[in-house]
Structure formats: structure tokens, C-alpha cells
A and B are shown apart, each in its own frame.
Chain A
Amino acid sequence: MKLPLEGIRIADLTAVWAGPYATRLLGDLGAEVIKVESPQHPDLLRALGFQPAGTPNAWNRAAYFNHNNRNKFGCALDLASDAGRETFLKLVPKCDIVIENFRADVLDTLRLGYEELKKVREDIILISMPGHGKDGPERDYVAYGTNVEQLAGLVSLSGYLDGPPQKSGISYGDPVAGTIAAGAAIMGLMARKRTGKGQYIELSQREGLTSLIGEQVLGYDISGQIPERLGNRHPFYAPHGCYPAAGDDRWITIACRDDDEFQVLCTLIDRPDLAIDDRFATSPARHANQDALDREISVWTRQHDREEIFELLAQNGVPAAPVWNYADLYSNEHLRARGFFEQVWHRDAGTWEMEHPVYRFTERPARIRMNAPAFAEHNDYVFRDLIGLSAEEVAQLEEAGVTARIPNMSSHQ
């Protein structure tokens, strides 16, 4: 069966992570995504490839870029020039969706806002995903990845017991915003199919992320109590923590949601005495005596390999999992068994493995159909085949610097 979004074409003006993650999901779902990059300011991720100085076409070899832009076509176009803008406006009628993640004022400055796009395609769906939204007093404030989660309220909730707020390990707001945007894009299509009308979708990244801590915000409105930072603990489950396993920087998480799970845990770690200890026998007692309980559990976990603990507990009904890092995941038996790593080939970057699409449809299995575009790789497809420019016209654009075959990487140095 064909992929869910086959036949949908998207003009993608986004760069870095949040926006490209949205179009990565949409591309994985079968949409034809056309990434439009500025010759003067190519996608920053092309500069984050850890390539030795002098590597030819280094901008095409950054894994951070190549993983987030697979299943996309790519062309180079300077939207700030008149000719670039006009060329883009010729592409828009061929597209169902335009998506951008510039700062709030940029698209209007380029005279490519929703009203302008509507003039060339009445039912276009435009998605903007600025940090703060398109209006409000903070709309023009600069906010990158780590700022978004600070503004959203998440960072205030994260942290060790009695410690300061703690940032997430990743720029967490980015993939969250990208996933919301991908969903909103599909809803735009669904509404258009029913009504014949396009629309303007506006996603404030900080607002989107606050949606993922909603019960904490509402809980505060109810109780008036600022939530305490609990480290790895839970408001009422215990044990609920991250324990040292045998080895250096090896950790295992364990959580019991009720007395039954705790009883099983005690049996599995051969500590029946804990199960009948008054301090630990009931959920409220365990919660009140967590420090003592955690010490007892740590004595046992330190003596065992984290994978061995995982198999013993999680297989027998006690939630547990090792704290795996990227390298552990790369060789993880479960991900391997599910075919999570898929081999790809790229004309400059060669052969390696990347993550399989994460939405696993049974009847419409997705795969990586095409690798991330080398810079300007599909200029001819976009400018000649789709828009219908002649070879001479494309050459003129190139001569004027409106498009290019090689990016100017100096803005990222």
C-alpha cells in the first residue's frame, strides 16, 4: 500500500532541528519534502559534522544534518533577493504545505507571509513555528533550544532533590515542536480536504512544550504549591530511582508502582526481609522511608551487571531499565531485532546506518527512500522539472548568486 502522505508536496524553509524534525517525520510518512536552503546561510547542522579541516564537501557529511533530512529533496535559493523570492513563489503553487521556523518577523520581512502565499495558491497551508509565537510582547526575543524548555516551565521541575533546576540533556523543545508541527500539518490537510480551504498554523514552541507538563501547571493552580524537584523520585511510588550497578558509570532505574511489584522485587533480589519490614511493607511507608530503602537496594544493585538486573526484574513484572547511552543503543538487541537501524548510502558521506522511521505502520511500512540531499543536489529537479525554468534561467540565477552549487559556510564559523 502507498505511504500515508504520498502525493503531498511540502516546501520546507526550516533549518537546524525543530523544523527539520517536523519535515523528517512528514517525509518518513511519504510526503515529498523540498528543503530550500540559503546559499549564504545554509543549514547550521551542515557545519556540525566533526569533519577534519579540508574534507571535501564536508557540508554533505554531517550526520546530524543527514539523519534529520533524509527523505527530502534539496535546493539552494536566496529568498532575500527579488529573483529568489519570485522563484519561490513559482514553487508554492506546486506545494500543499509551506513550513518555516524563522524568527517571528522574518517571513513578513521577506514578503512571504500567509497573505502573499495565498495569492499564488489559494488553499496553501502555512506552518510557522517561532519560539514565542507571532504576537505578544516577547515575540521578537531570541530563544534557542535550551531557552524554550526554560520558558515552558519544564526546567523548573527537573533537578536533584534540593538542587537547582536542571536542563534536559537535549534541546528537548525542538523534537517536541517538530512532532506537534507534523501533526498540525496533517490536520491542515484533513481540514482542507473537507472544506477546500487552506489555513495558517502557528506553533509557539514554548507553548507547545508547556502542553507536556500540563498536569503540573494545573496541579499548581489547584494546590498553590510550587512542585518540589524530586530528582528521580515520584510523588507516591517507591522505590523509584536510579541505582549504581557494577562497573563505572553504569546505572539501573527501578520503579515499583504498588505493593505487589515490591513483593516481587524483594523475592527477586533475595531480600524477603525487606518485604515484611514495617518501614517498607506498604506504599506510604516505603515512600516515607525512601532513603533507607534506596540504600538497601543499592547494596544489591552494585553487585550486579545492569543488563542482568534488567532481565531479572523487567521480565518478571518489576519495571526496570539500564540507563543506556547512544552507543549502548546502537548495539541494543531490542532495537536491532526491530530493525531500528537501516543502512543508507550517500554520494559524499558513504555508507552507514541511521534510525528507521519511528511510526511503524503494518500495512504501509516506511523506509528511508532517499538520503539527505547534498547541498543544492536537486536544483534541477526543483527549478527545471517542477517550476519549468529553462537551463539559461537557472544559469542566470546561479550567476546572480540567487542559487548556488556550493554553500557559503563562513556564517557558521
Chain B
Amino acid sequence: MDSALAGIRVIELGQDIAGGYCGKLLAGYGAEVITVEAPGGGGRVRREGPFANEAAPGETGAMHLYLDTGKQSITLDVESVTGTTLLARLLEHADALVVDGPHLWLDDLGLDYESRREQFPKLVTTLVSTFGQSGPYADYSSTNLTAFAAGGQMAMTGEPDREPLKNGGYQSEYQAGLNAFTATLAGLWAADDTGDGDEIDIAAMEVMAATLEASLNTYCYLQLSALGKRRGNIMSSVIGLYPCEDGYLGVHAMPRNWPALARLIGGDEMANDERFQSQAARLQNEDELRATLYAWAGETTKREAYAQAGKLRAPVAYVHDMQDLYDSPQLAARDYFDTLEHPLAGTLRYPGAPAGMSETPWESKRAPLLGEHNAAVYKGLLGLTDADLAVLRGEGVI
């Protein structure tokens, strides 16, 4: 079958999570993505464990195996004179360039905006960062944690009487990378249409500030400050997380879901209980309802409650841990995981397509070894010879 991005070539520069995730998605949907790695050991994503093979950590860390699926890897010291020249030659063959690196890095490499426009008029460059390419913080240092704080999502996460909390993994970097992906596609579409490339500035801070549910928008309009406070795990009795025998249950009921939820937690008796009949009554008897939910959850197991909720169409799910994901009958029935074999990491199960496409499906391939595609790219694409490669290797350029 055809793939959505067949014929698109992307150069990825920076070897970090946001750019890496953007490149992973482009590769999964069929683009030829060449990740440019630092000679010697690559970048940050190759250093994060756990490692599938302790003898080859740089090739078998979970972060690299996951983020680099389907890519080609070349090594190149882009900051050397020869390296910069080779990078520019690569860009002649590229449709898009994704950069996740220091502010003004491309300018420092002699590839500022004007010279890119001139040399590669059709190239789409996506620059992904925490603060963006302009504004007073453009040069400031940041990480996933500090970006999460700056973007406004952290202030809303955690318990009201404790410090604000980062959520799991690397969500500000992933959000930036996901948005870089969608924006790059829009850029490619436009460039194909008009022959004109572009440069796209994606700032994690803005991406997050634009998605603060009802808080920022309501504040913009009404200067209303009641929304968006840290409220922990219980937003209201019927929107919250409750401990059960072997885990945690998440309830999220809108007014029209009350009858189904009531039947789940207390049968017809609960459904007919006048204390909870209307939204207003539930609000009035909030404490009792909360107590009822705690008591109900405490006496059930996560799978039992979830199956029963599904039958009754009550909005209750359970907190899936990593094992629950692999055990999920739903994910198994949909064949969600991609089983990939890697010469040094062995066979592992990878989370699969973020979206299914009927005519141009996602296809996952294993992550490349460091510099695995040096010969294919430098010789095949740029026409260098074995002798050239030997010199470059000797000089530490590749």
C-alpha cells in the first residue's frame, strides 16, 4: 500500500524529544526522515534508559528506540566547516528541515533565513523550541519541566495544598513535537501547492498556553479567576479519581450521564435517590455523593468496575499502568502495538499509530544504528566516494 508521505524527504537536526517525536511521526507515515547525529555518540535521546542491551546502551535505550523508529541515521559534525557544507548539500535534496536546538543555531551555521530562502526556495523549515524564535525569552535555557511551568499547564496540575506538579513523561516536549508535526505538514502542503517554502516557529509555551481548557479563554473575556486553580484529583464528586481495591477509577459524568452512573454505583435505588436527582441536588449533597463514590470504589476492582460501567454506558475508566496497556483487550483487538525486531535490542512491543489511515497506513520500522545510513546517504544521495567518506571519518566530521 501507498503511504501518506511517500516521496517526502525530511532532515532532522537536534536529537531531542520534540524534534525527535515530530520526525518519528513523519517517518511512520512514510516520509524518508534522515536524522543527523553527532559523531561519537549521538544526542540526548540515545542516552536515556532503560537499556535493552547493557553492552550497547547508545543503541538500545527506550527513548532512542521509540523516537527514532523508521528513520535513517547519519553522523555529521554540523558545526565543522565541512559539516556545514554537507548539511547544505543535504538540504538541496530535502523537502523539510526540522530543528530542535539552540536559538539561532542555523544562523550560526551560516544557514540563516535569507540564505535558506535563496538556496532552498521550496524548503519548509520547522524550528521547535520552548519560547520560540522571538521575544525576550528566546535565548533563555529550559527543559521539559520548566517549559511545562512556563506554559501554564503545571499551575493547574497537582493538589491545591502542595507544590504544582509536572505530569508524567515529557509532555511539554511531546506537545511541541506533535504540533511541529502538524505544522510541518501544512508547510509541505503549501510548498507543494505554490513552490514556495517557509519557516515555521513552534513555541512549546504558546502551544500549552493555547490549551488551558476553560481557564485562559474565560479569563481573557471576563477576567474571571475561579477557573484553572489546582484542584487535585477531585474536580467535583462526579469528575474525579477514586481508589479501588487494586487501583484507581476515574469518573467523569456530565449531567446526562447521571442515571447510568447512579445505576453503576447503587442500582435503581441510587438512580431514584432524590438527594442526587438533579445537578443542583447533587451539588447540594456533594459531600454525601463523594462519600458514596469512595465507598463504592473501595469495594470493587478496576476491571470489574470498568466492564460493568461499559455495559451500563457509565463514564468510568480505570487508571491503566504500563502492564494494563499490554494486557488491554481493546488495544489487543485493534492490534495497537507494533512488534519490531532490532539487531541489538531484540524484539519489543512499541506503541503504534496515533491515527489510522485506511488508504495510506502507518508503518513502523526499527530505529537505526548510529550512522547506519552514512554510506547510503553520502554516497547514494550526495555522490561522495568511499575515499571521501574515509577522509571525513578521519577528520571526525562523520
Are A166's CB and B157's CB within 8 A?
A: yes
The binding surface of chain A is classed by DSSP as mixed
Judged by a CB distance under 8 angstroms, whether A347 is at the interface is: no
Chain B minimum-CB-distance residue to A341: B220
User: How long is the Cα–Cα vector from A136 to B310 in the complex, in angstroms?
Assistant: 12
User: How long is the Cα–Cα vector from A159 to B243 in the complex, in angstroms?
Assistant: 14
Binary contact readout B209-228 vs A (1 if CB under 8 angstroms, 0 otherwise): 11111111111111011011
Binary contact readout A162-178 vs B (1 if CB under 8 angstroms, 0 otherwise): 00111111111011100
Judged by a CB distance under 8 angstroms, whether A234 is at the interface is: yes
- Minimum CB–CB distance for B252 against chain A, Å: 4
Are A361's CB and B187's CB within 8 A?
A: yes
User: How long is the Cα–Cα vector from A261 to B142 in the complex, in angstroms?
Assistant: 11
Interface residues of A in 302-351 (CB under 8 A from B): 310, 313-330, 333-335, 337-338, 340-341, 349
Are B52's CB and A4's CB within 8 A?
A: no
Are A141's CB and B201's CB within 8 A?
A: no
Are A133's CB and B165's CB within 8 A?
A: no
Are B140's CB and A314's CB within 8 A?
A: yes
Are A147's CB and B146's CB within 8 A?
A: no
Q: Which residues of A contact B79 (CB under 8 A)?
A: none
Partner of B212, one of A170, A179, A322, A362: A170
Q: Which residues of A contact B178 (CB under 8 A)?
A: 176, 179-180, 183, 212
- Minimum CB–CB distance for A10 against chain B, Å: 13
Q: Which residues of B contact A139 (CB under 8 A)?
A: 330
Q: A201-B355, A324-B155 given as contacts; is B149 within 8 A of A251 (CB)? A: yes
User: How long is the Cα–Cα vector from A114 to B356 in the complex, in angstroms?
Assistant: 14
Most buried by A among B60, B211, B322, B325: B322
Q: Total A-B pairs in contact (CB under 8 Å)?
A: 492
Q: Which residues of A contact B220 (CB under 8 A)?
A: 63, 67, 330, 341, 352-355
Are B142's CB and A141's CB within 8 A?
A: no
Q: Which residues of A contact B198 (CB under 8 A)?
A: 361-364
Are B217's CB and A354's CB within 8 A?
A: yes
Are A214's CB and B351's CB within 8 A?
A: yes
Are A150's CB and B132's CB within 8 A?
A: no
Judged by a CB distance under 8 angstroms, whether B207 is at the interface is: yes
Binary contact readout B102-142 vs A (1 if CB under 8 angstroms, 0 otherwise): 00000000000100000000000000000110111101111
Q: Which residues of B contact A355 (CB under 8 A)?
A: 206, 209-210, 216-217, 220
Q: A135-B333, A170-B211, A217-B351 given as contacts; is B217 within 8 A of A212 (CB)? A: no
User: How long is the Cα–Cα vector from A231 to B158 in the complex, in angstroms?
Assistant: 9
Are A232's CB and B320's CB within 8 A?
A: no
> Which segment, of A218-226, A285-293, A386-394, faces chain B?
A218-226
- Minimum CB–CB distance for A82 against chain B, Å: 25
Interface residues of B in 341-387 (CB under 8 A from A): 345, 348-360
Are B169's CB and A4's CB within 8 A?
A: no
Judged by a CB distance under 8 angstroms, whether A182 is at the interface is: yes
Are B325's CB and A253's CB within 8 A?
A: no
Query: Could you tell me how many residues of chain A have their Cβ less than 8 Å away from some Cβ of chain B?
Result: 159
Judged by a CB distance under 8 angstroms, whether A110 is at the interface is: no
User: How long is the Cα–Cα vector from A73 to B352 in the complex, in angstroms?
Assistant: 35
- Minimum CB–CB distance for A231 against chain B, Å: 7
Are A146's CB and B169's CB within 8 A?
A: no
User: How long is the Cα–Cα vector from A324 to B156 in the complex, in angstroms?
Assistant: 9
Binary contact readout A374-412 vs B (1 if CB under 8 angstroms, 0 otherwise): 000000000000000000000000000000000000011
Are A215's CB and B51's CB within 8 A?
A: no
Chain B minimum-CB-distance residue to A67: B217
Q: Which residues of A contact B213 (CB under 8 A)?
A: 17, 64, 169-171
Chain A minimum-CB-distance residue to B229: A325
Interface residues of B in 41-61 (CB under 8 A from A): 48-52, 60
Judged by a CB distance under 8 angstroms, whether A87 is at the interface is: no
Q: Which residues of A contact B166 (CB under 8 A)?
A: 158, 231-232, 242, 253
Judged by a CB distance under 8 angstroms, whether B258 is at the interface is: no
Interface residues of B in 294-311 (CB under 8 A from A): 306, 309-310
- Minimum CB–CB distance for A25 against chain B, Å: 7
- Minimum CB–CB distance for B236 against chain A, Å: 11
User: How long is the Cα–Cα vector from A365 to B198 in the complex, in angstroms?
Assistant: 10
Judged by a CB distance under 8 angstroms, whether B394 is at the interface is: no
Judged by a CB distance under 8 angstroms, whether B317 is at the interface is: yes
Q: Which residues of A contact B331 (CB under 8 A)?
A: 136, 207
- Minimum CB–CB distance for B230 against chain A, Å: 7
- Minimum CB–CB distance for A106 against chain B, Å: 13
Interface residues of A in 199-254 (CB under 8 A from B): 199-204, 207-208, 210-223, 225-227, 229, 231-232, 234-235, 237, 240, 242-244, 251-254
Judged by a CB distance under 8 angstroms, whether A255 is at the interface is: yes
User: How long is the Cα–Cα vector from A231 to B159 in the complex, in angstroms?
Assistant: 12
Are A48's CB and B206's CB within 8 A?
A: no
- Minimum CB–CB distance for B387 against chain A, Å: 38
- Minimum CB–CB distance for A221 against chain B, Å: 5
- Minimum CB–CB distance for A331 against chain B, Å: 10
Judged by a CB distance under 8 angstroms, whether B254 is at the interface is: yes
Judged by a CB distance under 8 angstroms, whether A282 is at the interface is: no
Partner of B136, one of A17, A68, A203, A337: A337
- Minimum CB–CB distance for A293 against chain B, Å: 15
Chain B minimum-CB-distance residue to A139: B330
Q: Which residues of A contact B222 (CB under 8 A)?
A: 50, 63
Judged by a CB distance under 8 angstroms, whether B319 is at the interface is: yes
Partner of A412, one of B164, B255, B320: B255
Partner of B188, one of A167, A176, A190: A190
Binary contact readout A274-286 vs B (1 if CB under 8 angstroms, 0 otherwise): 0000000000000
Give 9 new A-B contacts, CB below 8 A, not counting A222-B52, A242-B163: A132-B330, A152-B320, A164-B243, A183-B182, A199-B360, A218-B62, A218-B349, A253-B148, A337-B136
10 contacts between A and B (CB under 8 A): A63-B222, A191-B359, A194-B7, A218-B65, A226-B321, A232-B163, A257-B143, A324-B150, A325-B156, A355-B210
10 smallest CB-CB distances across A and B, nearest first, come from: A169-B156, A157-B168, A63-B221, A220-B322, A183-B182, A219-B62, A4-B190, A314-B140, A67-B217, A325-B155
